[in-house]
Chains A and B, each alone.
Chain A
């Protein structure tokens, strides 16, 4: 057994930390703020990463990527999330939209989109969830109805992250069969300024830009917009979710925040009540376990057990995210409610607590993860 990520991965970690220390302003909390400068920072940083060949590190070399090992990709995930995802909204395009286009896109789609994504020029959003189809994507109601040589789309998407800043959307629809029966799913790649699309931000405790509604009123799409096969959208969605299988490296930000707060507290750390320091110690054990479960899931790659391993890693990481959020709040007491640059860790603790509330909901709820594991170990539903 050898738990070293490898020299290339170690070097990459240091290189990324140096880049972030150089290019990110103090107190940077990501693109999901009210300050437009933060969005601008992420756009500039993506250009920097692209210039360094790091934005599409995980892509195959034939598409201009770095052909990185899974462990280098792991380091990239950890460092980006630990430092408040300075790729901002590019995260989605790089992590799964691009790879999905590589696998299912036409030559024209590859030419149009891959270079734009790899150079950090375009922001994508994912039009999957609907008011009546959250975890149960198969019951989506947004319809694409045949009209001439294309389709007309009507429906509504919700919880769509980045939609207010995105210029392109991967839109999931139910396409009606020729006899008008229940449709199968089809994905379309459409610009968000196409006629009939309206985006409405949803204010939430998570902060700006996280949640949006997207209304689709008689939006025209064509065969050229289809990603994959007509009616073959479910396969693309499943693959897209697989690209994101292990999920966000939440443990990395938690470890970072705990280390930063310990440093900020200095000698006062030992003055904390023993009960809090005990919880802190337990949190570090749980975080180590979450990290190791993630590494295990990554190591399995295409093994049949990888899905269950990934669900296990997600449950561990999202649970840690929320327990660490509570721990950090309890350590700070009432001052934990302070936000902004004068707050502890420049407001990172308030930011973490708010975002952690969504950890067990976003990208597949913790209940869905449990259902997947239960199906694997017990069979049945």
Chain B
């Protein structure tokens, strides 16, 4: 068993985090809400890293590199649809949506889009307007637009849907890791009642639980990535949805902790925690909430597609 990413992949992840970090991190993402040029620079940085040349569907090595890249994009809160670009179909970015309420993060960017549902159904659509309508940018998901006039355009393999869920989870992992780092530094620096917040046991325990949740998400993300195959299976599909559920739940719980420990500061636009929380909302909630995804997995539970130490091995069920 080898539970660590290969060294050359972690090295690539470090290089990616360094390059994407030069754009300015969450504060640059905040400025990008009103200055589109910052998103052009994000695209240029991804191009510098060779992101758009990664063949995530047929090379496992390049898929791992893509996962490391998505984590770095999350950690730097890159204001760009990196997952959607990595999974582009014939030059059209691929967004995973709920066709009943299609919302596309960064859907305002120029260029063609394709939308897919969790069942693999593919759509063309018209983008816009922004979810905030004519009133300006929305606070939550400020780059999100409403998609209209969905037209059937065939289907994509479920393996693509699984990749979308997996890579989005890696992006969320990077973002919540950054939020935890910021919060950890805050509780060590901020003094109340004559001592740092990190001296209070309730704060220490809450940070410990946050650490466990983060490490658990990281291990699940690696495990799920290692099991992805181009030939989709019921078990593989279940694996990918399980990861997205865990990424969303961990993200929501962790951001709540970050807000609580930063106090009022964490709500201010100038706070990195506020920017992270607002910008990752589309990834947390789309294509469906963790609760809805869990209900979606119930047939997999009945069918025995959730592999455990005691489930029937795949392919041997009658």
Contact = CB atoms under 8 A, between A and B. Distances in A.
Interface of A: 1-6, 71, 78, 82, 252, 255-256, 258-260, 262, 269-270, 274, 277-278, 280-282, 284-285, 287-293, 295-296, 299, 308-309, 312, 315-316, 367, 369-371, 373-374, 377-381
B207 A78 contact: no
Given A3-B223, A293-B219, A316-B216, A285 B245 contact: yes
B110 interface: no
Contacts of A5: 1
A69 B125 CA distance: 55
Nearest to A287: B308
A278 to B, nearest CB: 5
Chain A binding surface, main DSSP class: helix
A293 B215 contact: yes
Nearest to A17: B310
Given A295-B1, A296-B3, A377 B207 contact: yes
A378 B184 contact: yes
A280 B301 contact: yes
Given A1-B226, A3-B3, A370-B209, A378 B204 contact: yes
Interface in B276-296: 291, 294-295
Contact of A256 (B3, B219, B226, B309): B309
A46 B304 CA distance: 33
B4 A281 contact: no
Contacts of B225: 1
Given A289-B220, A373-B211, A281 B298 contact: yes
Contact of A288 (B207, B209, B242, B302): B242
Chain B binding surface, main DSSP class: helix
Nearest to B222: A1
A5 B311 CA distance: 16
12 contacts: A3-B3, A6-B1, A255-B309, A260-B310, A289-B219, A291-B309, A292-B216, A309-B215, A315-B212, A374-B205, A377-B184, A379-B188
Contact of B301 (A281, A308, A315, A367): A281
B65 to A, nearest CB: 13
B138 interface: no
Interface of B: 1-6, 64, 184, 187-188, 198-199, 204-205, 207-209, 211-212, 215-217, 219-220, 222-223, 225-227, 242, 245-246, 291, 294-295, 297-298, 301-302, 304, 306, 308-311
B219 A284 contact: no
A312 B226 CA distance: 22
Nearest first, the 4 A-B pairs at minimum CB distance are A374-B204, A292-B219, A370-B208, A373-B208
Given A285-B246, A289-B219, A309-B215, A374 B294 contact: no
Contacts of B212: 293, 312, 315-316, 373
B1 A3 contact: yes
A186 to B, nearest CB: 32
B1 A299 contact: yes
Nearest to B239: A288
A4 B1 contact: yes
A43 B288 CA distance: 53
A288 B2 contact: no
Contact of A82 (B227, B294, B310): B310
B87 to A, nearest CB: 21
Contacts of A252: 309
Contacts of B184: 377-378
B310 A274 contact: no
B308 A315 contact: no
Given A293-B216, A377-B207, 18 more contacts: A1-B4, A1-B5, A1-B6, A4-B1, A256-B310, A262-B304, A288-B242, A292-B219, A292-B220, A292-B222, A293-B212, A299-B4, A369-B208, A374-B207, A377-B208, A378-B198, A378-B204, A379-B188
A252 B310 CA distance: 8
A280 B211 CA distance: 24
A381 B220 CA distance: 30
A224 to B, nearest CB: 43
Contacts of A369: 208
Given A1-B5, A285-B245, A289-B219, A278 B308 contact: no
B194 to A, nearest CB: 14
Contacts of A288: 220, 223, 242, 308
